[in-house]
């Protein structure tokens, strides 16, 4: 593992305006060329978190997937964020993970936000995703998943012999400020219990439903301490996470060796 440069893109997403959002986020991303290894966008960054956006959901051959491939190429970095994508008769809240060479993987949101009616229109994913970047194993998830520690759990000697499943966990979100305390608390809990870094990226502003977003995007270390944290304004911040510091912590405090075994259903 090498140290990893992570850029958090905390933007004010335009409501139901995919083209406008692609242009807006492209401008925010442009200064990152050559300075980041991983660039993280918010959840549903082309539309905002909207059940009505399902009617304009793109396919995997649509303009947003092509845009993400182009951004990854221009930046020389992995780029990730979620959008509504149609596959056959179903629409998923799908996180896209795109590498500079165009390689694309995805994760479909497993826990749909019942309180907001997401489960009534969108299809749920099942499988957890882990990807690799500069020797790091990374587990990307979406918003409401943060509340479900079993699905988020970092296991030892399961996916990798003698090692943990992942080293960095990501959550992209549209998490309203009314529940900001839960957002901050749960992100820190995931980092502590999983002995890993956690990067959380939320949006700011007010959406078309009148919901306010305070941001609070952050990179949190394995002790639950924010390495960087963005408050309530549109901002792009880059920080470097240390592979050696993570390895030293796991060697010094090997709680994973005492964890309960289980399998995800």
Which among 118, 143, 152, 229 is annotated as catalytic? 143
Cβ(150)–Cβ(189) below 8 Å: no
Q: Is 58 a catalytic residue?
A: no
Cβ(202)–Cβ(211) below 8 Å: no
Cβ(218)–Cβ(242) below 8 Å: no
Query: Phi-psi bin for 181: left (phi > 0), alpha (psi -120 to 50), beta?
Result: alpha
Cβ(16)–Cβ(50) below 8 Å: yes
Which among 23, 90, 109, 118 is annotated as catalytic? 109
Rg over CA atoms, the chain: 17
DSSP state at residue 124 = P
Alpha-carbon distance of 108 to 118, in angstroms, equals 13
User: What are residue 221's phi and psi, to 5 degrees?
Assistant: -85, 180
Angle between helices 18-29 and 63-75 (to 10 degrees): 0
Strand 204-206 versus strand 212-214 pairing type: antiparallel
DSSP state at residue 259 = P
Which among 43, 118, 196, 229 is annotated as catalytic? 43
Q: Is 134 a catalytic residue?
A: no
Q: Is 103 a catalytic residue?
A: no
Name the residues annotated as catalytic: 43, 109, 143
């Amino acid at each position: 593992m090498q140290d990893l440069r992570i850029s958090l893109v905390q933007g004010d997403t335009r409501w139901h305006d995919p083209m406008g959002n692609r242009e807006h986020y492209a401008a925010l991303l442009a200064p990152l060329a050559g300075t980041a290894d991983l660039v993280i966008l918010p959840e549903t960054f082309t539309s905002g978190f909207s059940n009505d956006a399902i009617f304009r959901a793109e396919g995997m051959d649509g303009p947003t997937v092509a845009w993400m491939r182009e951004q990854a190429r221009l930046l020389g970095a992995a780029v990730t964020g979620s959008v509504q994508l149609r596959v056959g008769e179903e629409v998923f809240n799908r996180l896209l993970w795109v590498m500079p060479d165009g390689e694309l993987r995805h994760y479909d949101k497993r826990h749909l936000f019942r309180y907001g009616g997401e489960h009534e229109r969108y299809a749920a994913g099942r499988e957890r995703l882990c990807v690799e970047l500069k020797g790091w194993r990374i587990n990307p998830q979406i918003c409401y998943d943060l509340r479900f520690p079993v699905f988020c759990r970092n296991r030892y000697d399961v996916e990798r012999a003698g090692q943990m499943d992942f080293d960095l966990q990501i959550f992209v979100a549209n998490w309203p400020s009314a529940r900001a305390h839960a957002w901050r608390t749960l992100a820190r809990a995931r980092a502590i219990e999983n002995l890993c870094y956690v990067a959380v990226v939320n949006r700011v502003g007010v959406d078309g439903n009148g919901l306010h977003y305070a941001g609070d995007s952050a990179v949190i270390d394995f002790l639950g301490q924010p390495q960087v944290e963005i408050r309530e304004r549109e901002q792009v911040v880059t920080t470097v996470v240390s592979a050696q510091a993570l390895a030293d912590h796991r060697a010094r405090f090997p709680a994973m060796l005492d964890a309960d075994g289980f399998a995800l259903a």
